[in-house]
Structure 1
Amino acid sequence: MSVKKIYLIRHGQTDFNVRGIVQGSGIDSSLNATGHQQAGRFHAAYAHLPFDRVYTSVLRRTHQSVQGFLDQQLPHEQHVALNEISWGTREGTRISPEEDEEYYGVLRQWTAGNTAARLPGGESPDEVAARQRPFIELLKTRPAEETVLVCMHGRAMRVLLCQLLNYPLRYMDAFDHRNLGLYQLHYSGSMFTVRSFLDVAHLQEPGQ
């Protein structure tokens, strides 16, 4: 098969991002003005690509981030598999190291290899990985789709990248993310490789 090109982005900025409030899968927030600007710049930079399909989570911030492509009438599918991790009772709250030791304690457990740990009412990375696997198989079994755009969420993106690149989930924080930052991957039919690691050139002010 020919090489499949996957353009993987995180959604644009929301007011929750600015205020340091945890969103997760249970907060269906919208982009703020900066987020819409980021989406417009990404579309301006990549509208020329022949995307065969656009994939998003079911949350509106991902839809708004690729609205320019949807306006081109490109085929679009939304998948719960691409939703952000559920942060359970912490969703909608502001988290800082001083305010919530429990939250950061769970993050430390993940780094130590306990990726079954979760916040109360939330998901573990293991559970996120499990719900993502059918989507990964979908990507692999659609060879006619040679170029696809995938828009999702920061923590879930880290989990997905670990799975695509065969890294243990404990290393997921090695995959940094920014609002509307881009990872470009290729799938050869047997393995995924990273061609571009967190590209944000399209977000620069014109003339920079």
Structure 2
Amino acid sequence: MKSKTIYLIRHGETDYNRQGIVQGSGVNSELNEWGKAQAEAFFDTYQHVPFDKVYTSALQRTVQSVQGFIDLGIPHESHAGLNEISWGCREGSIPNSMDNAYYRDLILSWQSGQVDNPCEEGESPADVRARQKPVVDLILSRTHERTILISMHGRAIRILMTLLFNEPLTAMDKYEHSNLCLYRMKYLYSENRFILETANDITHLLSLDIPHN
């Protein structure tokens, strides 16, 4: 049975993550030292996997998270379709109490089914899934790539998982994520479906010392 194995990770920690600052697709932040340590720990654990291709978003934090694999000479492609959701005019700032209320109400609206409701000056979950689909179609069309690694972002991963598993976008918040977590799944071509094998796995990070602020 022909299949494709997909290792899907969220990028490592950035200073914006540490400080609780909204990044989205408009802030092209770098990994901090802890994020680099997370990336190194993931590489040390999975460098033996024979990846045929590495896919990332167009933002540098996802590329830095898989740089070790790229340095091995594994082919790499960046796709803006895999970028994080645009949180609009609130990106790059620490949320205040009014912002927190805004985000809470926005996410509640998505959970209630208003998935076309965009962030102010940003994107909706439906917008993100629409730009993800052509990238997914491209990846699945490459049947010769049997094992691939994808590096993405938290909310974008939640949205992507609903696309892969033919679920409504209202289900996206069930897909939890941590910095440099792993989702591993298999796509069965003969059945046109995905099988989830690992979710939000961070066992590769357990050997790291807890960072201090």
Q: TM-score, normalised by structure 2?
A: 0.94
Worse-matched range after superposition: 185-194 or 91-100: 91-100
Distance 2:187 2:85 in 1: 25
Partners of 1:71 and 1:173 lie apart in 2 by 34
Q: Which residue of 1 aligns with 2:205?
A: 203
Structure 2 residue aligned with 1:19? 19
Instruction: Report the equivalent of 2:140.
Output: 140
Deviation readout 1:95-139 (Å, 9 max, x if unpaired): 255643222211110011100111211000000000001011112
Displacement of 1:206? 6.2
The aligned residue for residue 154 of structure 1 is 154
Query: How far apart in 1 are the matches of 2:204 and 2:100?
Result: 35
SS of the residue corresponding to residue 192 of structure 1 reads strand
> Residues of 2 paired with 1:158 and 1:111: CA distance?
12
SS, match of residue 64 in structure 1: helix
- Structure 2 counterparts to residues 95-114 of structure 1, below 5 A: 95=95, 99-114=99-114
Alignment gaps of 5+ in structure 2: none
How many aligned residue pairs are there? 207
Residue 75 of structure 1 corresponds to 75
Structure 1-normalised TM-score?
0.96
Contact preservation (8 Å) 1:185, 1:196: yes
Q: Which amino acid aligns with 2:106?
A: V
Secondary structure of the equivalent of 2:176? coil
Distance 1:206 1:16 in 2: 20
C-alpha deviation, 1:166, in angstroms: 1.1
Distance 1:127 1:147, change over 3 A: same
> Does residue 170 of structure 2 align to residue 173 of structure 1?
no
Counterpart check, 1:184 vs 2:187: no
Cα deviation for residue 187 of structure 1 reads 0.1
Q: Does 1:60 align with 2:60?
A: yes
Task: Please give the alpha-carbon distance, in whole angstroms, between the structure 1 residues aligned to 2:208 and 2:19.
Answer: 27
The aligned counterpart of 1:129 is 129
Q: CA RMSD in A?
A: 1.3
